[in-house]
A and B are shown apart, each in its own frame.
Chain A
Amino acid sequence: MGAAQEKGRKAYARQLDLLHGRVDLTHGSGGRAMVQLIHELFARHLGNEYLAQGDDGAVLPAPVMAGARGRLVMSTDCHVVSPLFFPGGDIGSLAVHGTINDVAVMGATPLYLAAGFILEEGFALQDLDRIVASMANAARAAGVPVVTGDTKVVERGKGDGLFITTTGVGVLPEGLQLAGRLARPGDAVLLSGSIGDHGVAIMSQRENLRFDAPIASDTAALHGLVAAMLATKAQIRCLRDPTRGGLAATLNEIAAQSDVGMMLQEQAIPVKPVVAAACELLGLDPLCVANEGKLVAICAGADAPRLLAAMRAHPLGRDAAEIGEVVADVHRFVQLTTAFGGRRIVDWLTGEQLPRIC
């Protein structure tokens, strides 16, 4: 055991009981208990040279872009998912992937993450340990370290176990601009893979809905896929990840920002059969169900084949598909041709998507 660790051990009367211990108000008070929590739990998993500096802020090198100056992209995301653990992931991996993706779909290379934790008094340290380990694994696998963070504790009943906020920063090469307002008639609409996986994985865990289905969340960091797509030099107008509200919300957002309409082909939209079945049982529309490892790309129509090939060559884009096109429409409707040949609108999700009996 190293000298620093010896010193650490003597500073605390007892090690944290990660098996049976619970968060209490002292862990957020700024005193010794909080420092111990950070050392023995957070830093143990997330440890890197920046976090180890142990100061109020992380000092980071200025981003270097090959040749010309780049710009910074920053994004933040709050995570309140319940349940905290679900097939395919947990709130920790979700928090890391979600913010990496928000930075990546701007066309930027994600560089660093910050993480804030609001813990409810009584939260099991075992669960916290598991979640932070999961975050660390996700961050390491993605190559994007958590360089600074904060923890607060709220009284029992004032927080749903754990809330995590992550902020990410990345760098965007000069000349690259992806934005929701840039779609134009004639553009192709591409989707990186099957929709509905995450939302259904979550709903299958919820209290009052008892069924076990082999559906896992698709939570994943998409910056590698994005890099492969940008490398094709295809004319990409916009990338976006369809999280809450599903594909329907994302496409309606882009249509509104760009002042266009869209025409989709229902049969081209990939949905895993088991997800489709779960949605049938719950009375949900897969188009409105959340995803955490997919992206939508709007590109010049002529570039679609090339871009699609690059997506399919990447592990996270194997099931990528061209699902429709952008059209001129003053009403900005996103429409869809059903498998029947009939037409209908794909509207925004209304309120919370509730399973229905009718």
Chain B
Amino acid sequence: MCLALPVEVIALGADAMATVNLGGVKKEISLALLDDVQIGDYVILHVGYALSKLDPEEAAATLALFAEMQAGGFAAP
């Protein structure tokens, strides 16, 4: 619930550290709470640690959901 941001992993370092990029700003953060992070992955960053990986397909699906033209709400559950 606190300030956390999606950032792109651009380099992997020792001791589970990584360099990430957000809009041109680079920072060293820890990947110690995740496994299998690759360069190019997006992670959610909070207080210097990556908490979760962002799924690009789900992100695209969510955006498509916003843009659906019908108002909905009347379909059967």
Contacts and interface: CB of A to CB of B under 8 A. Distances in A.
Q: Do chains A and B touch in the complex (CB under 8 A)?
A: yes
Interface of A: 210-215, 273-274, 276-278, 280-281, 283, 356-358
Contact of B26 (A212, A273, A283, A358): A212
A277 B23 contact: yes
Contacts of B24: 213-214, 273-274, 277
Contact of B22 (A210, A280, A283): A280
Interface residues of B, number: 13
Contact of A213 (B1, B2, B26, B46): B26
The 7 closest A-B pairs by CB, nearest first: A277-B23, A274-B24, A211-B27, A358-B2, A213-B25, A277-B25, A277-B22
Contact of A358 (B1, B23, B28): B1
B34 interface: no
A357 B46 contact: yes
Given A280-B5, A356-B3, A358-B3, A211 B46 contact: no
28 contacts: A210-B27, A210-B28, A211-B26, A211-B27, A211-B28, A212-B26, A213-B25, A213-B26, A214-B24, A215-B25, A273-B23, A273-B24, A274-B23, A274-B24, A274-B25, A276-B23, A277-B22, A278-B25, A280-B22, A280-B23, A281-B5, A281-B22, A281-B25, A283-B3, A356-B3, A357-B2, A357-B3, A358-B1
Interface in B1-35: 1-3, 5, 22-28
Nearest to B22: A277
A46 to B, nearest CB: 37
A66 B2 CA distance: 60
Contacts of B28: 210-211
B39 interface: no
Contacts of A213: 24-26
B47 interface: yes
B18 to A, nearest CB: 13
A273 B21 CA distance: 13
Contacts of B26: 211-213
Interface of B: 1-3, 5, 22-28, 46-47
A178 to B, nearest CB: 36
Contacts of A358: 1-3
Choose among B1, B25, B26 the residue with the greatest number of A CB atoms under 10 Å from its CB: B25
Residue of B1, B22, B28 with most partner-chain A CB within 10 A: B22
Nearest to B27: A211
Contact of B47 (A210, A280, A357): A357
A304 B29 CA distance: 46
B33 to A, nearest CB: 16
Contacts of B3: 283, 356-358
A215 B24 CA distance: 9
A55 to B, nearest CB: 50
A213 B3 CA distance: 20
A233 B69 CA distance: 51
Given A274-B23, A280-B22, 5 more contacts: A213-B24, A215-B25, A274-B24, A278-B25, A358-B1
A211 B25 contact: yes
Nearest to A204: B25
A357 B48 CA distance: 10
A21 B72 CA distance: 75
Contacts of A215: 25
Nearest to A200: B25
